[in-house]
Chains A and B, each alone.
Chain A
Amino acid sequence: MLEFTFCMIILFLMMYGIIMVFRWVGLDLGQRQKAHEALLTSPIDPNYGRCTTWVLGVCTSYVNEVTGPLTQIDPHFSTPAPMNAVWSGD
C-alpha cells in the first residue's frame, strides 16, 4: 500500500511537470501571437509625416514618420527571451 502511494505521488508529480511544460510552450506561442495582434491594432499618431514648420513655402520639420503605421508593423516586435542555458561568454 505504501509502495503504491509512493508511486502515485511520483506519478502525479511527473504528470504535473509535463502539464507545466505543455503550458509553458503554449504560453510562449500564444503570447507572441497576442503581442503581434496587439501591436498591429495599437494606436498611432494621426499626424505622422505631416509638416509642422513651413519656412517660405518649404517644410523644415515633420512629425516623425516612425510614429505612424511603422510602429504597428515593426518586424522586430518580438525578441526571444535570453536563456541561461546558452553560454556565449569566454
Chain B
Amino acid sequence: MEKVNTKDKKSQKTKFYFSLLTSHFLPKKAQTAMELAVFGAILIFVVGAIVRQALSAGYMQNQQLRAMRQAMTTSYRYSTGLAGGGGGSGDASHQTASVLFVEDRLTAESAKYAAIDRTPYVASAAATYSRNLFLPVDAGEDFNLPVSDIFINGKHFPLTTARFKRVHLVDMGLCSDNCDPTCTDCSGGSTELYQIPDPAVEWEPNCLEQTGPCASMCVRQDCTSCCTDCSPTSTQTFARTLGCAKLYDVVYNHPGFTEWCNHDGGPSLRSCDPVCPPSAPGVGVPGCNLSADERFDLDRDGATDVPGAERGDFSWQWYLVMGWDAGFELPGGVDALGNPIPNPVQASLLRGEGIVLEPSSCKRNCKSPRHPSVDVGDRNSFGDLDLKRESIMVNTKERDPLPPNANGVDQTTGIIKQFWVMDRQDGDLDLTRGDSDPGLDPGLQKDVKMYSFVRDSGVDGTYFRVEEGRLYAASGDTSQYIRTAQKKDQIDLIERVVQLSNDTGRFCTDTEAVNNDPGVWPAGLSNPVEACGNCFGAGNIQRTCMDKNFKVIIVRSRVADRRGRKWITPTGGDETVDFAVPGVP
C-alpha cells in the first residue's frame, strides 16, 4: 500500500481551493482586458495631465514673450515720440519700460459646464531704449516722470514712480523791498535782511558769514561787525551771520568718497575732523561737518544707531549740506583792460558744504555738480518723513516753473529759498521702499476674489446650460446631429487690490470724481478707474474703484465667458440618424 505523505496532501488541498477561487473570482480570460483597462485609464490620465500642463506652459510662454516685447515696444514708442507727451523728441517716462501682465485664463478641464476654473498668469519684463537716456528733465514736465505699467486682464494702469514737488526752505529778502514785521529798518537803501524759515525745515541760524566793505554794502543791523561809516571813502568792513536750511546727503563707505569717516579725533584718514562746533553767531570752521555719532544717527532722532566697532563695515552715513548755492557769486565789474573784478562782498559757509548745480543752459566753464540729491528736514518735522534723498531739479534754481516764477536763490547771499525736486517716494508707487520703511507694501496685493455672475438684472439673464441626447438643427447646418452641448453665458468678476504709496490725484480728484483731465490722460491713455469712493456700494460694486482714504485701487476685471463645448456627430449618409427634424405643429 502506497503511503501518502501528509505534506503532499496539504499541497493538493491548497491547489484545489486556489483553483476554485481563481476560476470564480479571477477568470484568466479577462486578465488582459482588465490590465488594459487599468493601464489605459492611467495612460489617459497622464495624457490629460500633459495636455493640461502644456496648455499652462503655452500660456505662460506666450505671456512672457508678450511682456518682453510690450516692454521693448513701449520704451521705443515713448522714447522716439510715437507716444507720450514729449512730442517728436520723445520723453523720458519709459526710458526703462517696466511691464507687468496679470491675466486670469481658463484652465483645461472637464467640468460640468466646460472649463470654469481660472488660473492667474503673471509675467513681467523691463526693457530700455537708450535714445533719451541722458535727456535733461525739468520740473513741471510731468510727462517725463517715470512710469510703471500694469496690465490686469487687458486694463492698463500706468503708475508713476516719482513726482515733482516744490520744497520751500525760507522766505527772505531785503527789508527795503518787503517790510516784514521782523525788520527794524525798511527805509529805501536798507540792506537789512529778513529770514522766515519754513517751520517744516531744519534751520541753522549760524550757517553763512557774509563780509565786505561798508562802502559797498552798508550793513547796520543783525551783524557781528556793523558799519558806522558807509561813506565811499570808508575803510570799515562788516560781518554778519545768516541762516540757511540744513539738508542731508549720503556718503558711502568706499575709497572714492573722501568724506567718509568712522570716528572723531585722531590723525587717521577716516577721522571726522573737523567736527562743527556748537552753533553760535560767527562761530564755525570752514569745511566742518557732522560728528561720527551724528553721521551714524540713521533715523536722525538724536541717538546714534551704529556702534563704533561696526562703523568701518557699515555701507552709508549722513553728510551735512547747507541750503546755500556754492556756485553763487555776486556780480562784480571789469577794469579798464576788461579783466573781471570780483565783488568785494563775499560769503562763506561756517559749517557743512553748499550745493553746486549749474543750470541746464550752462554750456562752458560749468562747475561739477555737488550734492544734487539731498534729504530735507528731519523725521519729526518735515512732511516727507522718509529719510531718503530727493533729486533737485536744476532749472528751478533760476526760475520757479509755476507762478509767480520766483528765483530759487537769494540774489544777495546765495541762500537757497526754494527748489523743486523729483521725489521718487512721492509717485503712485514708491519702488524704493525697503523692509524698514513704515506703511503697507505698495503694488499688487496677494488677495484675489472672483465672483461669477450667471444672471443679471435684465430679462434675458445668463445661464449654465447642458443639453444631451436631444435632436435639433444646428444653426445654419441642418446636416448635423448634436449629441451633447455644454455651454455657459456668464461674467467672471475678478477683484484685485493695488495698494498705492500716495494719492497723487491722477485717478480721482479731491471731490471724489473720476479724473479725466486730458493733461493727465492724453490721447491714447484713459483713466482705468471708473468710480471713486464708496467702492462697495451697489452702484460701484462691479467697477474698478479707488478708495482715497486707504490709497487703494480695487481692480474689478469683468471677463465674459460664453464658451463651452459640444459633441457633433456628422450624419451625412447615415440612414439611422439622417432624417429631417419634424416640423413644429
Chain A contact residues, CB within 8 Å of chain B: 3, 6-7, 10-11, 14, 17-18, 21-22, 24-25, 28-29, 32-33, 36, 49, 65, 69-70, 73-78, 80, 85-90
Contact = CB atoms under 8 A, between A and B. Distances in A.
A33 B53 CA distance: 17
B564 A87 contact: yes
Interface in B464-488: 475, 485, 487
A52 to B, nearest CB: 17
Contacts of A10: 36, 40
Interface of B is mostly: helix
B58 A32 contact: yes
A78 to B, nearest CB: 6
A1 to B, nearest CB: 12
Contacts of B35: 7
A7 to B, nearest CB: 6
B47 A73 contact: no
B73 A75 contact: yes
B566 interface: yes
Given A14-B39, A32-B58, A80-B58, A74 B73 contact: yes
Interface string B553-568: 0000000001111100
Contacts of A33: 61, 65
Contacts of B61: 29, 32-33
A38 to B, nearest CB: 12
B50 A22 contact: yes
A29 B65 contact: no
Given A18-B50, A29-B61, 10 more contacts: A14-B40, A29-B57, A33-B65, A65-B80, A74-B73, A75-B66, A75-B69, A75-B70, A77-B69, A85-B565
B58 A90 contact: no
Contacts of B26: none
Interface string B22-58: 0000000001100110011001001100110110011
B73 A7 contact: no
Q: Chain B CB within 10 Å — which of A7, A22, A80, A87 has the most?
A: A87
B51 A32 contact: no
Nearest to B564: A87
B324 interface: no
A6 B29 CA distance: 13
Contacts of A28: 54, 58
B564 A78 contact: no
B40 A74 contact: no
Q: Chain A CB within 10 Å — which of B72, B485, B566 has the most?
A: B72
Given A6-B32, A78-B62, A70 B57 contact: no
5 contacts: A28-B58, A32-B62, A70-B73, A75-B73, A87-B487
Given A3-B32, A70-B73, A18 B47 contact: yes
A6 B564 CA distance: 38
A24 B55 CA distance: 11
Contact of A21 (B51, B82, B487, B562): B51
A70 B57 CA distance: 27
A10 to B, nearest CB: 6
Q: Chain B CB within 10 Å — which of A29, A32, A73, A85 has the most?
A: A73
Nearest to A39: B69
B69 A25 contact: no
A21 B47 contact: yes
A7 B58 contact: no
B468 to A, nearest CB: 14
A36 B58 contact: no
Contacts of A73: 69, 72-73, 76
A82 to B, nearest CB: 12
B489 to A, nearest CB: 10
Nearest to B54: A25
